[in-house]
Chain A
Amino acid sequence: MVTTAPTEERIWQLLEEVSDPEVPVLSILDLGIVRSVQVEGEKVTVSITPTYSGCPAMNTIATDIRLRLLAEGITSVTIHNQLSPAWTTDWMSQAGRQKLEAYGIAPPVDGTATGHVLNLFGKDTAVRCPLCKSDHTHLVSQFGSTACKAHYQCDDCHEPFDYFKCHA
């Protein structure tokens, strides 16, 4: 079998096939955590940035990237954990947002990051119910099933759902 040195384009295609272990409907490219890919001869370097400092999926994602590249015969892989610039939901793709909603998780509403504003008891972000599409929803807790999600409930269909927090 003849192996040719991998191209950068090919690496990006392969990364599209690596999914987020906690939201498997999203690829890591949809999530916007791959910052760069560098290819030097046979050596491949992939820089990824964590969504949240304590995201337990980062180790799994690094392993999954290695395994996917290994399956193509790419063995010399370095994975960098890049903290700065910090990840933001602005980097999440449009396709990713649509996949999230179809999966039952409300996608981030841009421009609503808590950011550095401490508006105590401020109005909750208006989030559309991913199931019945009603805008009558309310925040149950800013802290949901994973670090990146808040917990909402729909006032019309009463379904509780996850909301992928805007993080900017």
Chain B
Amino acid sequence: MQVAPSETSALNNYVPELRQQLFHYVLQLADTSLILGHRLSEWCGHGPVLEQDLAMANIALDLLGETRSLYQYAAELEGKGGTEDDLAFLRIATEYRNPLLVEQPNGDFAATVARQFLFDNFHYHFLRELHASTDERLAAIAEKAVKEAAYHLKWTSEWLIRLGDGTEESRQRLDQALASLWRYSGELTTPTATEKALQAAGIIPDYAGLLPKMEAHLNHVFQEATVPVPQGVFMMTGGKEGRHSEHLGYILAELQYMQRTYPGMKW
């Protein structure tokens, strides 16, 4: 990689413990966009129509771009001379910190739209506030990514409405998708100990402040889609602390294949 990052955050201003927590958290963000971007890229060439195939590939690419900025920063925070590629290709599933939602299989188009909507509704509102982070590097990454996330959320919101308020079959498929995926939505805004520490330090936004905005948008979209908002569902957590569903291992097996087979291979 020839492009040197120029935002030199005052890395040394962080006490070692906070720096370690920030490292883990930046990994969490990077893992999340990498795994979701990879899932979306699995649609490439298989979309229901060409335009939506391209849309999913575009969103995957945006997420991958965000991933790279985040892994580059994480590698600097770790301070061991590693690169973005080491972090993406040489960690095992239990070291990955993405929430469970993003590793769920693509299923049909409705399942992919539902998964993406639940993520985008968090991602967009989260990035808007992360832009005000006291950490300059995260603020810069958020400033860039939020413009893209706005397009993503518009796309998923409109598709959720089309599917919900569409044909009998599209509605049935969306209902099935939400029945299996809703349980993973709560983890996005359930802070881990690491997140709580970073929220207290003003580095990342408090999720309590995000929830009303996320709920307002979600309620609006579900109402337009004529879909009831699921209630009283037990929320699964653990992905952000490395406890994953079996799906992640299969993703990494494919994603990391070349680097595991030919260690140190360069493009």
Contact between B154 and A80, CB atoms less than 8 A apart: no
Determine which of A54, A63, A85 lies in contact with B62 in the assembled complex, contact meaning CB atoms within 8 Å: A54
Residues facing A in B121-147 (CB within 8 A) are: 128, 136, 139-141, 143-147
Chain B 180-208, CB-CB to A under 8 Å as 1, else 0, gives 00000000000000000000000000000
Determine which of B61, B64, B140, B148 lies in contact with A83 in the assembled complex, contact meaning CB atoms within 8 Å: B140
Cα distance A142–B217 when bound, in Å? 20
Determine which of B66, B139, B158 lies in contact with A54 in the assembled complex, contact meaning CB atoms within 8 Å: B66
**Stretch of B2-10, B77-85, B92-100, B236-244 at the chain-chain interface:** B2-10
Chain B 138-175, CB-CB to A under 8 Å as 1, else 0, gives 01110111111011011101100100000000000000
Residue of B nearest to A119 (CB): B154
Contact between B62 and A83, CB atoms less than 8 A apart: no
Determine which of A78, A116, A119 lies in contact with B4 in the assembled complex, contact meaning CB atoms within 8 Å: A78
Q: Contacts A118-B154, A118-B217 hold; do A147 and B58 have CB atoms under 8 A apart?
A: yes
Contact between A151 and B51, CB atoms less than 8 A apart: yes
A124 to chain B, nearest CB (A): 12
A88 to chain B, nearest CB (A): 9
Interface assignment of A13: CB less than 8 Å from any CB of chain B: no
Measured between beta carbons, the chain B residues less than 8 angstroms from A118 are: 150, 153-154, 157, 217
- Interface size range on B against A: 35 or more
Contact between B62 and A59, CB atoms less than 8 A apart: no
Contact between A85 and B143, CB atoms less than 8 A apart: yes
A138 to chain B, nearest CB (A): 12
How many A-B pairs have beta carbons closer than 8 Å: the answer is 116
Interface assignment of B105: CB less than 8 Å from any CB of chain A: no
Contact between B54 and A143, CB atoms less than 8 A apart: yes
Q: Is the interface of B mostly helix, strand, loop or mixed?
A: helix
Residues facing B in A117-167 (CB within 8 A) are: 117-121, 140-145, 147, 151, 167
Contact between A114 and B66, CB atoms less than 8 A apart: no
Contact between B144 and A83, CB atoms less than 8 A apart: yes
Determine which of A59, A85, A120 lies in contact with B158 in the assembled complex, contact meaning CB atoms within 8 Å: A120
Contact between A84 and B143, CB atoms less than 8 A apart: yes
Interface assignment of A93: CB less than 8 Å from any CB of chain B: no
Measured between beta carbons, the chain A residues less than 8 angstroms from B214 are: none
Residue of B nearest to A45 (CB): B6
Interface assignment of B69: CB less than 8 Å from any CB of chain A: yes
Residue of B nearest to A165 (CB): B151
Contact between A54 and B61, CB atoms less than 8 A apart: yes
Q: Contacts A121-B158, A141-B54, A147-B61 hold; do A52 and B148 have CB atoms under 8 A apart?
A: yes
Contact between B7 and A83, CB atoms less than 8 A apart: yes
B155 to chain A, nearest CB (A): 6
A89 to chain B, nearest CB (A): 11
Interface assignment of B59: CB less than 8 Å from any CB of chain A: yes
Determine which of A56, A85, A119, A120 lies in contact with B221 in the assembled complex, contact meaning CB atoms within 8 Å: A120
Measured between beta carbons, the chain B residues less than 8 angstroms from A97 are: none
Contact between B65 and A52, CB atoms less than 8 A apart: yes
Contact between A84 and B7, CB atoms less than 8 A apart: yes
Interface assignment of B227: CB less than 8 Å from any CB of chain A: no
Interface assignment of B55: CB less than 8 Å from any CB of chain A: yes
Contact between B65 and A55, CB atoms less than 8 A apart: yes
Residue of A nearest to B161 (CB): A120
Q: A83-B140, A142-B155, A147-B148 are in contact. List 14 more A-B contacts (CB 8 A).
A: A53-B69, A55-B65, A62-B3, A80-B5, A81-B3, A83-B141, A83-B144, A84-B139, A86-B147, A113-B147, A119-B154, A120-B221, A120-B224, A143-B55
5 intermolecular pairs with C-beta atoms under 8 Å apart: A50-B65, A81-B6, A84-B136, A86-B140, A143-B155
Instruction: Please give me the 10 A-B residue pairs with the lowest Cβ-Cβ distance, nearest first.
Output: A54-B65, A53-B65, A80-B6, A84-B140, A54-B61, A143-B55, A141-B51, A143-B58, A81-B3, A83-B140
